[in-house]
Structure 1
Amino acid sequence: MTAVSSLPATPAAAPGRRRADAEAARYGVLRRLAPALKHDMVVNLQAVAMMAEVLNARLEKGTPAGGDLQKQVSKINRLAREAVLNCLQVAAWIEPSEDEGIRLREGVDECVALLRSNFNFRGFSVDNQVPDSGFEVSRVKLRNLLAAVLISLTDEAHSPGELLVQAQVGGGWASLSIVFVPRQEEDAALPPFEPNYRALDWADVQALAAAESVELSREEGPVALRLPRMTATPLQIVPL
């Protein structure tokens, strides 16, 4: 496969067109992530509702002992706080309040966790082989690009397989490599799948990389992303 790089941007593409392409790609990624984001948002709310129904049923049968009632109320309060936190985390995928640094492996784990159920259903798995270190990158850039790459690779795949996410850090940069390894079984076939929105193609990934000023290349299969270390602010100290 011919090497393709999103940087530098194609001179023929006007700035307005590049922005439009990037926005279309971001919208496409969010639409594809919507089912997983919806699940993460409501799962704790459903638990709160179930606990409230149980407590209400017990109250209708008679007032429970004070200690037991306090335990139930405390549990509902804890679940409600978790639900609020989950909703804020989901909202950050849609509209980040501000960018922040995240450890590279932790950021990859976030994307993988969000996509795992959908990928498993479609016959794909993701193996996060990124070493655990204190190296931090932009959370927003990593989320946007890694999610787009993973979805795009599975959309173009013709058979089930595994996505390997690897990384090397050094010199103020993190170099991510994403490789798709198809299954070797002769009868391996993808289950029927109709995306909730359009498929993401390589042009979408390129548009996002150009908008985020992230180096992107693809040569003979592996996709390479190169992200800079997240710059420290007075309230944020980047680990050495």
Structure 2
Amino acid sequence: MTSTAASTAQDNLMRVEASRYALLRRLAFSIRHQMVAHLQPIGMVTELLERRLRAPEPDLHQAHDSVAKINGLAKAAAQDCLDVITWMAPEPGATVAIGQSLQDCIALLRGNFSFRGLALKSDLPELSQPVGRSAARMLLPACLLALTDGLEGPAEITIGAQATDDDATVDIRVQRTEGEGFDRQLNYRALQWSDVEVMARAEDVQLVHADGRATLVFPVLG
């Protein structure tokens, strides 16, 4: 590889990493909220267990149930914390069913989008075709953010998908709805289509976008 080619490859890698960092910064609050949803119940059940054990004659059966709940919640929280690491350091070759990835993305962003006056709608079939986990995790939310960051009012976002043995296609459409404008203040910079494009190329995913619409075509793996 010539020095010029090496420099170009390094520049492309830096652009991809910068775009991924911007996306993770935008998703940080949603990921934190998801983690807290697993951690908070542990404290609540622990307080309940403590009150039960203070009783003159503690009900050991109830105490055992509380301990079992704490154990289950702690395992879920630990798994969620470990999963957060894979956002920053993806496991090479890891895959996920495209349908599951879409559901995860919608669950992650629904709260934030609702606060911004954006309604996420989907009527997704059962899609078990495996796609790259990192590709889906990066590109699905990136497209949703790039489509909506410039909006100055409420909107409805419709997500559709279909898959064959060779590829999985995700179609996202945005339609403005009536209502008052909302605060567009973001916790980090807006996602640009140039960010999404460099990530798509890095993941070998086809991307087509126009005003209010984006289509992603993921290669089916395995």
| TM-score, scaled relative to structure 2 | 0.89
Structure 1: 5+ residue stretches without partners: 1-10, 233-240
Preserved CA contact (<8 Å) 1:109 1:128 = no
> Shift in Å at residue 171 of structure 1?
5.4
Structure 2: 5+ residue stretches without partners: none
Specify the alignment match of 2:78 in structure 1.
84
SS in 1 for 2:77: helix
127, 131, 149: which one pairs with 2:121? 127
Preserved CA contact (<8 Å) 1:216 1:226 = yes
Separation (CA, whole Å) in 2 of partners of 1:59 and 1:167: 51
1:194 aligns with 2:188: no
123, 127, 143: which one pairs with 2:137? 143
Preserved CA contact (<8 Å) 2:129 2:165 = no
SS in 2 for 1:174: strand
Preserved CA contact (<8 Å) 1:216 1:225 = yes
Stretches of 4+ moved more than 3 A in 1? Answer: 60-63
Q: CA 1:60/1:170 → structure 2, altered by over 3 Å: closer, same or farther?
A: closer
Preserved CA contact (<8 Å) 2:35 2:80 = yes
Separation (CA, whole Å) in 2 of partners of 1:171 and 1:46: 41
The alignment yields a C-alpha RMSD, in angstroms, of 2.0
Separation (CA, whole Å) in 1 of partners of 2:26 and 2:41: 25
The alignment covers a number of residue pairs equal to: 217
Specify the alignment match of 1:29 in structure 2.
23
Preserved CA contact (<8 Å) 1:104 1:135 = yes
Percent identical pairs in the alignment equals 35
Higher helix proportion, which one? 2
Q: CA 1:32/1:220 → structure 2, altered by over 3 Å: closer, same or farther?
A: closer
SS in 1 for 2:10: helix
1:145-164 correspondence runs (5 A): 145-164=139-158
The aligned amino acid for 2:213 is P
1:207 aligns with 2:164: no
